[in-house]
Chain A
Amino acid sequence: MTALRKNKETTHEIELAGQLALLDLSGGLYLPAHDALLVADLHFEKGSSFARRGMMLPPYDTRETLSALSDVVSRFDPRVVIALGDSFHDIGGPDRLGDEERATLSGIQAGREWIWVTGNHDRILPDSIGGQVVEEMNLGSLTLRHEPEAGEQAEIAGHLHPVGKVVMRGRATRRRCFLTDGKRCVMPALGAYAGGLNACDAAFKPLFPKGFTAHLIGTERIFAIAKSMLCRD
């Protein structure tokens, strides 16, 4: 359990469907029982996707996301990394990936198992990006998939990019967050250009009929915030 000790500073422990899960400051989630690191909604090459339509966003989003990914992977050094879908912003994304970024990705993948779960932005993923591609998978009692599905089945998913907004005495902050009710967890998006959907949005309601706790990613640590403290946009 070296990963546990090493990442004490940056993580926040919760129980998820009977097992320990570590929520990391990077937006990743680590399951010690499986030595698995989960990340969601990387949206690689979102910048170039916009550029095709004439909005020339700074072309550094992929390397920024890769650097965050590389950091969290090296800290946990997990047996397996599972990306929960929308890893690329569009189907052409893997083709547009620069040589340097491609090499960085291979470096991160080296020496471990790598699983791409497909998402609505990247239904098809080419072999060139390494790892294996699945539509969804199970890990112990947990189902891992891109889009969360309301119901009894315990799951970890992405897709919705939850962010929580907190306002205290006229001061507001809006941060990416994990939403969980102890059985289901919706992970924040890790991509540098991935925006966010307010946790108060109706889309989250059917997933958490009995409410949730939001774990907001601060600058130095993660904060557990009650649903009642969250504000709409």
Chain B
Amino acid sequence: MSKASASLLPKAFRDWFKSRGWKPREHQLELLAKAKAGRSVLLVAPTGAGKTLAGFLPSLVELAERGPGRGTTKDKRGIHTLYISPLKALATDIARNLEAPVQEMGLPIRIETRTGDTPSHKRARQIERPPDILLTTPEQLALLLAHREAREFFKDLRRVVLDELHSLVTSKRGDLLSLGLSRLMSLAPQATAVGLSATVRKPDDLQRYLVPQRPSSPRGVGSERVSAPERGGGIDEVADLVPSRAPSTASSFKEEVTHAALADLVVVKGGAQPDIRMLELDERLPLAGHTASLSMPTIYELIKDHKTTLVFVNTRLQAEYTFQELWKLNDDGLAIALHHGSLDVTQRRRVEEAMAAGKLKAVVCTATLDLGIDWGDVDLVVNVGAPKGASRIMQRIGRSNHRMDEPSQAYLVPANRFEILECRAALDAVHEAAQDTPDARIGALDVLCQHILGMACADPFKLEDLYEEIRSAAPYASLTWEEYEACVAFVATGGYALRAYERFAKIVKGNDGLWRVRDGKVAQQYRLNVGTIVESTMIKVRLGKSSRSRPGSVLPRGRLLGEIEEYFAETLTPGDTFLFAGEVLRFEGIAEDEVLVTRAASGTDPMIPSYEGGKFPLSTFLAARVREILADPFEWDRLPLQMTEWLVQQRRRSIVPGPRDLLVETFPRANRFYMTCFPFEGRLAHQTLGMLLTRRLERARLKPLGFVANDYGIAVYASGDIAARAAREPSFMYELFSEDMLGDDLEDWLAESALMKRTFRQCAVIAGLIERKFPGEKKTGRQVTISTDLVYDVLRKHEPDHVLLRAARADAATGLLDVKRLGVMLQRIRGRIIHKPLDRVSPLSVSVMLEIGRERVYSDNADEILAEAEAALLDEALA
């Protein structure tokens, strides 16, 4: 410890470190110095680097030196330090960890948490007597800021600590938090922020996020938008799909970048290189599927040989399956537990506690365990299935071995042959420490609407002042005055061109020029609606028993298996089989708000696919690497032999495409004509592509019947001969895949797309157009609800440029429809489509063909479905 930095640390602290046998780390002291200098900081450090203590140390020192307040109402102090975490559990965890040094040093510091679980009397007391350090979540911060006492409560704030910042900033929660931060900084300009983050690709995005931005362009000009969205359909609509406030496209943004305020950056270099490898088997992996069943015995042995293992999987279903399989092998009775989002909370907490206490040998888990809660002494991480992204996999590996100077141990387990490629690409990325965290977000307009109402609840505001404050938040730095006004108008009266609701306005402008909330009822409405997480409604799954008295009928007498999304249940029809709770189940029907199922006969293949098959699409970065490995035969040497053989076969029978090419194969099979292609752009973009391709094939009178998509490619099947058409018209394939599909075709599809309607619904809830439906609330019919699908239809027709539709389109660009990525792909393959007419299926195509029957067939064409159902009636009549 250098003398200068040592002097920053009071004696009590130095003694405390010594008593623990610790030494303050370099970055912990550095943060202390930064805090003294009044700087905001982004701390990038691997797990186990003492990040949390580094974040809090300056606060603890300052509070220790400040001494206790007198506690009288006259001398009332606001909070000193605010800590925000993405998880309630993390906030509680950190509070507990902080108590240790505070008590051991006998510091006069009050630490409290405020989450959804905090009882109302405690909340009231916190406002009355603010603690020194408050630990909370972004939603609770929004509520606090909308409180009438907010100004008083935060006036003495010195420091904001944002934990797991890399994960927070990638979602609308991050938008909400950035707006909260902008308000905090105007209530307490003396405060500094510190962000704690894992390694990211562009740290300056996070550095900007932490400090108020000062966009240079004068308000009202509104020229930052490169392409102001035009009303009506066509290409202009599409221009709007790719958010035009994107920093990379905004010409004037360059200037802003040079003026952008940045927090300081402190990077703790990772310790030892992780010891990570691919699990290779002698047996051949299947061409499709995600279960990795062949690898289970090896995984089991690995668990046995290590102290504690985390087995990460991508979906809940994989978690269920893996857990089940491991227990089948578990002759040694190892303590192997399961942890995923649909499990009961109490059960999850039990697993977490057992884990922390070192009582478990292994936990099979999904992304719910991705975040930085301390899980005890993990010495091995196994990732089953596709890694999906390089940064993602590195963060998971970071869960193993909390002593940062020892290498983490990890295995990647591919479940099918394509995943071998993906694992190879991910391994390379880890060794180069390459990152693929997403770009900084453009702040969502629906979140902004919510925030504006919240700010009106707190204090009357001046239109211009709030605009400047909002633009100091990095995601909203390029917000135009026009967009802002549209949001304010939405909050007030819905913001429609037809000004019909003036007399019902929720916020109104007074004679003093200030906007204020109309009454307490509106504020109440805001409080119930706060937050950006719109949970899909879940429905319970119960095992049924066959009725003895009435053969063929099923009674809801069995045990509860868990919950599935309502929208998934809605697409099931009696007799469908699907995988849940590790078993193949037969859907029998819905009885009294429960899905009734029976066990399917053994050996039955599930008919309906794993819903939410892979929640995260393959990252653009890994996809590019996979294409490169595929294209370069020298690279094949680094792949397992079974993979090389497969690729050699592909080269013999068709071709292996270059890294920027799009391979399109066509071939006949069983009276149908198939077309496969391999863009490697992830499932979501492929689904959208499939929808648009089938529309175009329909128009070309090639009678498409359906398509399936996975992370790597899609297969379309038709009763018309696609290859014959392409032979007759040389430009056919280019026209089929031309970028103009993102024009009218996309617009037409969006009009009826169920995914788009779901996207719109989320925006409508977040913006506060309709009230949130709380889980567990029964549909009574009496309830004041309205179908957002109907609202979508009407709004789209009468006001296509409305702020809510703009918000939904911005979401569609990157969310469930991934239109932006599709656009980039279509641009990439322009002039690089290689059509290979074949007489039978190629090795590459087999992999996606295997999804048929396993994956859902996509279609939003209502008449097709109805015609099929009508035909069934005729069949019945003629039988």
Contact = CB atoms under 8 A, between A and B. Distances in A.
Contacts of B571: 167, 170-172
Contacts of A168: 573, 865, 868-869
A96 B522 CA distance: 22
A226 B872 contact: yes
B521 A192 contact: no
B876 interface: yes
A53 B518 CA distance: 12
A192 B500 contact: no
Interface string A35-71: 0000000000011101111111111110110000000
A224 interface: yes
Contacts of B794: 58, 60-61, 64, 192-193
B504 A57 contact: no
A59 B785 CA distance: 16
B777 interface: no
B786 A218 contact: no
B573 A167 contact: yes
A225 interface: yes
B221 interface: no
A173 B866 contact: yes
Interface in B500-537: 500-501, 504, 506, 521-522, 525
A229 interface: yes
Nearest to B572: A167
B873 A226 contact: yes
A142 interface: no
A60 B858 CA distance: 32
Interface string A158-183: 00000001111111110100000000
B729 interface: no
A197 B787 CA distance: 12
B870 to A, nearest CB: 4
Q: Which of A47, A58, A166, A175 has the most CB of B within 10 A?
A: A58
Contact of A60 (B498, B870, B872): B498
Interface string A198-231: 0000000000000000001011110111101101
B493 A166 contact: no
Given A59-B500, A192-B790, A171 B785 contact: no
Nearest to B609: A170
A151 interface: no
Interface string B491-502: 001111010110
B703 interface: no
Nearest to A161: B781
A161 to B, nearest CB: 10
Contact of A54 (B522, B797, B802): B522
B37 interface: no
A98 interface: yes
A126 interface: no
A224 B870 contact: yes
A44 B786 CA distance: 14
B589 interface: yes
B856 interface: yes
Contacts of B866: 166, 173, 175, 216, 218, 223, 225
Contact of B795 (A51, A55, A58, A224): A58
Given A168-B868, A173-B866, A229 B769 contact: no
Q: Which of A55, A56, A98, A226 has the most CB of B within 10 A?
A: A56
Given A172-B865, A195-B790, A232 B504 contact: no
Nearest to A226: B873
A15 interface: no
A52 B506 CA distance: 10
A233 interface: yes
B490 to A, nearest CB: 8
Nearest to A229: B869
Contacts of A54: 504, 506, 521-522, 525
B530 to A, nearest CB: 15
A225 to B, nearest CB: 5
B865 A166 contact: yes
A46 B857 CA distance: 37
A5 B859 CA distance: 33
B570 A166 contact: no
Given A60-B795, A169-B857, A55 B771 contact: yes
Given A48-B500, A53-B784, A55-B770, A166 B869 contact: yes
Nearest to A62: B500
Given A54-B504, A170-B608, A226-B873, A60 B573 contact: no
Q: Which of A169, A218, A225, A229 has the most CB of B within 10 A?
A: A169
Contact of A170 (B494, B504, B856): B856
Contact of A57 (B494, B590, B781, B858): B494
Q: Which of B858, B865, B868, B876 has the most CB of A within 10 A?
A: B865
A87 B242 CA distance: 42
A60 B522 contact: no
B320 to A, nearest CB: 20
B374 interface: no
Given A51-B501, A59-B494, A231-B573, A223 B867 contact: yes
A115 B501 CA distance: 30
Contacts of B787: 195-196
A53 B784 CA distance: 10
A60 B864 CA distance: 30
Contacts of B522: 54
Contact of A232 (B590, B799, B862): B590
A56 B802 CA distance: 13
B783 to A, nearest CB: 11
A216 to B, nearest CB: 6
Q: Which of B607, B781, B866, B876 has the most CB of A within 10 A?
A: B866
B865 A173 contact: yes
B325 interface: no
A65 B769 CA distance: 21
B576 interface: yes
A170 B797 CA distance: 29
Nearest to A49: B784
Nearest to A194: B790
A197 B589 CA distance: 18
A55 B767 CA distance: 11
B25 interface: no
Interface in A1-56: 46-48, 50-56
Contacts of B727: none
Contacts of B791: 57-58, 193
A194 B343 CA distance: 37
B331 interface: no
Contact of B798 (A64, A173, A221): A64
A98 B525 CA distance: 28
B863 A218 contact: yes
Contacts of A98: 500
Contacts of A221: 863
B494 A56 contact: yes
Given A193-B786, A226-B876, A56 B504 contact: yes
Contacts of A55: 769-771, 784, 786
28 contacts: A47-B500, A50-B786, A51-B500, A54-B506, A54-B521, A57-B769, A58-B794, A59-B501, A60-B794, A61-B794, A165-B570, A169-B573, A170-B576, A170-B607, A171-B858, A171-B864, A172-B570, A172-B571, A175-B862, A192-B793, A218-B862, A218-B867, A220-B863, A223-B867, A225-B866, A226-B873, A228-B876, A231-B573
Given A55-B784, A56-B495, A193-B794, 16 more contacts: A47-B500, A54-B504, A55-B786, A56-B494, A56-B506, A57-B791, A60-B498, A60-B795, A60-B799, A64-B798, A168-B869, A171-B571, A192-B794, A219-B862, A219-B863, A223-B869
**The 4 residue pairs across chains A and B that have the minimum distance between CB atoms:** A56-B494, A59-B500, A60-B798, A223-B866
